[in-house]
Amino acid sequence: MRLSQLSGKELIDIEKGRKLGVLGQTDLLFDEKTGLLKELIIPKSSWMGLKRKNQEISIPWEHIETIGRDMIILQNNQKE
């Protein structure tokens, strides 16, 4: 799967069974020593899609349960 194919997929919290949002622009964080994917980094947007400074959501790769055609199912361990 290509990074561009992640865009537009819904993020679903498996434990609470609720939608967390839709993936837009996403960055990937790799371990420089091993080359393994560590995290998805999703910028939070404010009104009119303008990015807020230093605001992003990090989803560790091991929290992703499955990536389907329309959604990504994950364990959301972040506090609300």
**Domain CATH for 65:** 2.30.30.240
In a domain, residue 80? The reply is no
pTM score:
0.68
pLDDT tens-digit map of 9-22: 888 889 888 887 78
* Separation of alpha carbons 43 and 41, rounded Å: 7
Q: Is residue 62 part of a domain?
A: yes
For 23, the domain range is 3-74
> How many domains does the chain divide into?
1
Structural domain includes residue 79: no
As given in the structure block, the two tokens for residue 37 are 């994917």
Residue 57 has pLDDT above 70, yes or no: yes
